[in-house]
Amino acid sequence: MAYALVTGASKGIGKAIATCLAKRKFDLLIVARSEGLLQENAAFWKQKYGIDVQYFSIDLTQPAAAEKVVEWINAHHWQVQVIVNNAGYGLWGYFHELTVEAQDKMLQINMQTLFNLTHLMLPHLKNNNPAYILNVGSMAGLQAMPSLSAYSASKAFVNTFSRALHEELRPLDIYVTLLAPGSVDTHFVEVSGMHHMEKIAKKTSMQAEEVAEIAVKALFKRKKQVIPGFPNRLAAYGIKHLSKNRIEKIMASLYRKKD
């Protein structure tokens, strides 16, 4: 079986997607910053599913990260049929109060690393048709979100890039699916600093395992986009048809920084 490359596979949605692929007997190449968690996950998937799992610990916020991942893959001559660009995170706060350095790192991993890795891995996918790319965007990319301005903009890039790429690569027998989840029970609230939203998030969030199963099924059905959960699809419909000004004011009130 050809390999599936999953970034951000140490925990959360990335780990859950990797588990879904392992169940389908894909060998795995898993990439994230935490070597300990990668090693632990790799050992578990090897034992439980009888697959090969290789891991590479790297900080994907670094500008040359994608090139280093591809060099690692090429050095071992692994054949890759599936790419899951999951790694990413958000920063909550006002643009003028967050540092440029912190926002640069977020934009690097959310957009540039995803972009570079996808482009650099295309020769692999062309040689292992049919091939599949799953890009993890977000419902946050469907509209501007004050106090999550850079994050929502980065996910808007992933959303539109993925949908366009679906049409470009389909004739090459490479299929791109955009996963645009709403709130998921992961470490997003903790990492982003949105501790005031923790109670709401726990009530409204989907489980990562449920989102992953929906995403992987959509990927192999060659769907252009999937928004998991009926409430999220209903919200997406509302976002599409309501006034942007009104939505932005609602978002500004909901996510505003409390003194």
Instruction: Look up tokens 């470009």; give the residue.
Output: 168
- Of 174, 177, 151, the residue nearest 163 (C-alpha): 177
Known catalytic residue: 151? yes
Residue of 155, 203, 221, 244 marked catalytic: 155
For 127, phi then psi, to 5°, come to -90, -5
Tell me the one-letter amino acid at 184. V
Q: What angle do CA 225, 174, 210 make, to 5 degrees?
A: 40
Tokens encoding 36? 């300990």
Give dist(CA 234, CA 2) in Å, integer.
Answer: 37
Of residues 3, 49, 55, 151, which has the active-site annotation?
Answer: 151
- Within a 13 Å sphere around the CA of 95, how many CA atoms are in the beta-carbon half? 11
Residue 145, token pair as written in the block: 């979100």
Q: What whole-number distance in Å separates Cα of residue 124 and Cα of residue 122?
A: 5
Helices (H), the chain: 12-23, 35-49, 65-76, 100-107, 113-126, 149-169, 188-192, 198-204, 208-220, 230-241, 244-255
Is 11 considered catalytic here? no
Q: Which residues are catalytic?
A: 151, 155
